[in-house]
Each structure stands twice: as structure tokens, then as C-alpha cells.
Amino acid sequence: MDSWVRVLLLAAFCILPVLVECRVRHCNFHVVAKNTTRLCSSKSIVTVNGQFPGPTLYAREGDTVLVKVLNKVNHNITIHWHGIRQLRTGWADGPAYVTQCPIQPGHSYVYNFTITGQRGTLLWHAHVNWLRSTVHGAIVILPKRGVPYPFPKPDNELVLVLGEWWKSDTEAIINEALKSGLAPNVSDAHTINGLPGRVANCSTQGAHNLPVESGKTYLLRIINAALNEELFFKIAGHKLTVVEVDATYVKPFKIETIVIAPGQTTNVLLTADQKSGKYLVAASPYMDAPIAVDNLTATATLHYTGTLSTSPTVLTLPPPQNATQIANKFVNSLKGLNSKKYPVKVPIKVDHSLFFTVGLGIIPCPSCKAANGSRVVASVNNVTFTMPSTALLQAHYFKINGVFTTDFPAKPPHVFNYTGAGPANLNTTSGTRLYRLPFNATVQLVLQDTGIVAPENHPVHLHGFNFFVVGRGVGNFNSTTDPKKFNLVDPVERNTVGVPAGGWTAIRFRADNPGVWFMHCHLEVHTTWGLKMAFLVDNGKGSKQSLIPPPKDLPKC
Ligand code: C2O
């Protein structure tokens, strides 16, 4: 038997600007409704254990984690452990109708997985409909006992969960949008650990407080748990030293502003080396396409202990919403650590070379009056993914026919000027089509944004794997010249990567994890519209190369 559960739960309860910690030995996630007030208005939200953001899951590399999720609300629920590799344990991955049927009201399911070869910051979130807007929290994986960080030991660690807040119910918002054919409303505020900070017309709104002591160094574990928006993050008067993204170490570098997409995490070191005082912390939207976003900046305060409450806060200006240069500066600085202990194992030889277009489309919708009889959809290689009514992993494991096909196209059906104005009316087909890979195959995947409707940055997330980001560029990918510029030495390793608006990103990974693995845009609105697909990875021949049998309590559809 593997080591028994070692899960500590730390509940950062941030409804009041006070941190309440509770440590327990068993990990129970009770999904419950909770009345809560933000922006001077109240609503009932779905939460884990009544907390928003939810409890931080603390574990150590090598731990086997068991989380019992008990559904006490009126919605189907699943929890996804975003970025956890789930080696051979796809049953515990969480996306509804991909690896499991959802947990129905009144039912429970125990997620059981071992954290192998990973340490750092990740996040957990609901993976059904739009429930992750309030059902999310941090995962902190400490290195094995006695193993140091590959950077100076911080004096303390703080978790910062960035989010989005809607005054009305998010399930109602997306349902309404699907009916009308139009884009859903943007959020009403961004949040830092659940709080928006100062907001016009609502003076009672609290702001999150980050207490620091002069001269000390802090590891900030920053998570973007927002539904639909990439965010800039900065702290007035302080530089941030980036040491990790998506639970993989990077070559440390100093920067003023980081950019972080939904599903991504960034660990930075911050030294309280400025004059004692209060400094503004700002999270603001990044959007470089003509697409509406919530333009409110969430604020928190970095507070040196001993600072008089009357002393003013040192302010900072958030970057302009379309500051692509600032975003690129951060993204281009990311390199894998590539040390002896943490080498970069990027596949050099490629078995499957794939080219996927990602973007939007328009299809007829006679009932969509508000959108003049059409609706927005999204697709990968012109396939708008249709969710099945039974889970793909079960269909695969139990050999249930008729649920999916394995003919997902390796390249787009038509070649066109992807990033130009282009033909706007390319037909999208729908289907539950998977791309099949033999165990241990190496894959190169070029993700190409399209300009159909509008170019837009898509943070694409792959379940079950980390990948290496070997290249990135603007315009259409050139298969002759661009690969010559790939970084096969120290590319950054991630689980979610931004495909730049009107550009492309190339990633590589090894299909060493049997199962069915979802890949989708982590902007929830695009996932809803169909910007998703899945890989089916066969079992290998070795004794430890096949999917383990499903647990007895696996939910039924
Ligand atoms: Cu964090 Cu499939 O998602």
C-alpha cells in the first residue's frame, strides 16, 4: 500500500480580512451553498466547505491524496486537480463527461491520486458548467521532506488566488447567453483572495491584506482562478523574482509585472526591502483584441508590520489593458530551470506532428433572436466538440461503442490565411472526436489562433501531462522556417499555455500516461462554445503502463 493520506487543510477564510487557519487530518470537501456579499450585493454561491476561495490543499511530493467530495447542492459537481499528472489514475482527474460522470446531488466520490514527480503550486476547481467561478482553491505541493527549493528559502509563504466576481448567478448568465447566441456578460469585478478591494459606489468593500515584515522574503503562490480573463499582477515599489510556473521550476528572473492566464500559477519571491509602509497590489485584465472585458482592477495591500494605519498607500498604475509588450516580456523570460536535479526532458524526436487551429466561429441558430439568428461557437480544427452523455474514459475502458470516434483531424480540413481577415464562414462540424496516441509516443502540437470573428489569446490547457513550450510567434506558423527557431534546450514546462492573439504556440510532450485527456481553452466561455477536444492514450505493455481499474464509487451518469 502506498503511504497513507497526508493531507493538511489550511483554510484561508478571507471573507473578513483576517486569516483563520484550520488544520485537519482527513480531507473532506463538502460542496455547500453559502450566502455571501460582494460589491454591496448578496447572493448564494456554491462553495467547498462554505469558503470562497475554497480551502488550500497542502500535500507533499509523493503523497497519496484522498479527498471525499460530498455534494450537498442542487447542481451536479466534479472537482479537477488542475495540473496534477494523474499517472494511470484518470478516474480522479475530474472533468465531467470526460473522465467521470458528475457527482449528483446527495452523492459523494473519493478522489484518490498520488502526486508523482511534481512539487509547486497548482489549483483545484469544479469542472462542470461554470461552477468553478466560486468552487476553486489552491493546491500547494511541498518538496519531499529534506529536499530544499532550488532558490533561497523564503521566510514565509502566502497564497494569492485571483478570481472574477459576478453580482448575479453565473449558471444563469451562461444559460442565458447560450439561449441568446450572444457572448455572456463580463464579470463585475476581479478579486484577490475573494475580495475586490476598493470599488466605486461601495465603500464597505474590504481588501485583502498581505502582512510582511521588513527585510524578510516571501514566496507568493499566485493562481489565476478567474473564468474568462487573463490578468496582470504587480505590487507597487517591488520587483518580483519568478521561480516557478505551473508547478515546474524556472530560471529565476526579476520583473515588475507578471501575466497569468486562467488555470496558470506563478510563484514569485518578494523581499520586503522598501521603506516601511503600505503598497498597492493590483490585478487587472490583459486583453489585446477587440473583445469586451471587465476592466476593474482588483486591489490588495502589502502591509509592512508596524506601519501606522494613517500612512498613505503607495499606489501603482496597472498596465494598459492591451499591453502586449509587458505580457511578452514576462512570457519570453520563462525558461526551464534545466539543472542537474531538474533537467528539461523535451522530446527531440517527434512521432506525431499535429497542427490545430483554435478559434471562434458563427453558426446559424434560428431561435437566437438576440444574435440575429446566429450564435458564436468555438472549435479546434473546425470541430466543435460535443460533450457525450456518458464519460469518455468509461466508454473507453468498458469498450462502450458509439460514444466517441478516434478520427480527430491532425490538421485543419482547409488551408487558409488563419490570422488574416480570412473566410469568416468556414463551416464548423460538431462531433465527439478524439485523437488516439500509442503509449509513449512523442507529440509536437502547433496551436494556431484564427482570426475568425476576432483573433484572441487562448490559454490552452492539457490534462494528464505537462508539455514544453518550444516556440511561439505571430501570424501563421511556417513549418519550414519556424521549427529552426525552436528552443529544445531549456523551454518552459507548463500545463496551460497562451496561444497569442493572431499567432501560434508550439508544444511537445510524451504520451506516457494512458487514459482519456481533455484539452481545452481555459477561458470557460470558449470551453462552453466548443474549444475543446481529447486525446486517447493507449495502455503500454509494461506492468505499470496501463490505466488502473475504476474505483467502486465512481459516479454513474
Ligand atoms: Cu483547469 Cu479542464 O481545467
Q: How confident is the model at residue 22 (pLDDT cuts 50, 70, 90)?
A: very low
Task: Determine if ligand 1 sits within 6 Å of the CB of residue 127.
Answer: yes
Q: Ligand 1 centroid vs 461 CA: distance in angstroms? A: 6
CA of 127 to the centre of ligand 1 (A): 7
Q: Is the CB of 132 under 6 A from ligand 1?
A: no
Which helix (H) or strand (E) segment holds residue 333: the answer is helix 324-333
Considering the chain, what percentage of its residues have pLDDT values greater than 90? Answer: 84
**135, 228: one domain:** no
List, as own/partner pairs, every contact residues 11-15 make where C-beta atoms lie below 8 angstroms and the sequence separation is at least 24, other chains included: 11/49, 11/51, 11/55, 11/56, 12/51, 12/53, 12/55, 12/56, 12/159, 12/193, 13/51, 14/52, 14/53, 14/193, 14/194, 14/195, 14/208, 15/52, 15/194
Ligand 1 proximity of 518 Cβ (cutoff 6 Å): yes
Distance in Å, CA 498 to ligand 1 centroid: 14
For residue 80, the CA-to-ligand 1 centroid distance in Å is 7
From atom 3 of ligand 1, which residue's Cα is the shortest distance away?
82
Same domain membership, residue 386 and residue 278: no
And the C-alpha cell for 461?
A: 490547457
The DSSP letter of residue 340 is S
* Domain termination residue (choose one: 272, 301, 333): 333
Residue 21 has pLDDT above 70, yes or no: no
Domain boundary at 142, 169, 189, which?
Answer: 142
Same domain, 409 and 483: yes
CA of 174 to the centre of ligand 1 (A): 18
- 118 and 247, same domain (yes or no): no
Whether residue 104 lies inside any domain: the answer is yes
- Co-location of 133 and 202 in the same domain: no
Indicate the pLDDT class of residue 345, thresholds 50, 70 and 90: very high
173 & 282 share domain: yes
For residue range 400-411, what is the model confidence (pLDDT) as tens digits?
Answer: 999 999 999 999
**Judgement on whether residues 491 and 445 belong to the same structural domain of the protein:** yes
What pLDDT, on the 0 to 100 scale, is given for residue 540?
98
Q: With a 6 A CB cut-off, is 263 part of the ligand 1 pocket?
A: yes
Q: Does the beta carbon of 461 lie inside 6 Å of ligand 1?
A: yes
For residue 26, what pLDDT is reported?
61
Counting the structural domains of the chain, the total is 3
- How does pLDDT run across 291-301, given as a tens digit for each residue? 999 999 999 99
Residues 419 and 126: beta-carbon distance below 8 Å:
no
Using the 3D structure, point to which of 282, 306, 333 is the last residue of a domain. 333
Tell how far the Cα of 85 is from the centroid of ligand 1, in angstroms. 12
494 lines ligand 1 (CB under 6 A): no
φ and ψ at residue 107, rounded to 5 degrees: -105, 170
User: What's the domain range around 27?
Assistant: 6-142
Mean pLDDT of the chain: 92
Would the CB of 550 count as within 6 Å of ligand 1? no
Place of cell 506558423: 477
H or E stretch including 552? Answer: none
Ligand 1 near 463 CB (within 6 A): yes
Decide whether any atom of ligand 1 lies within 6 Å of the 95 Cβ. Answer: yes
pLDDT tens by residue, 465-477 = 999 999 999 999 9
263 and 381, same domain (yes or no): no
pLDDT digits (tens, 9 = 90+) for 154-203: 999 999 999 999 999 999 999 999 999 999 999 999 999 999 998 878 87
Is any atom of ligand 1 closer than 6 Å to the C-beta of 94?
no
Q: Are 109 and 167 members of one domain?
A: no
**What is the structure's pLDDT at 289?**
87
Is 324 among the domain residues?
yes
Same domain, 232 and 97: no
CATH number for 126: 2.60.40.420
Mean per-residue pLDDT, 18-26: 36
Instruction: Indicate whether 1 belongs to any domain.
Output: no
Residue 520 near ligand 1, beta carbon < 6 Å: yes
Whether residue 264 is found in the same domain as residue 125? no
| Contact by Cβ (8 Å): 132, 121 | no
- Tell me, yes or no, whether 365 and 249 share the same domain: no
Q: Is 208 in the pocket of ligand 1 (CB under 6 A)?
A: no
Distance 121 CA to ligand 1 centre (A): 15
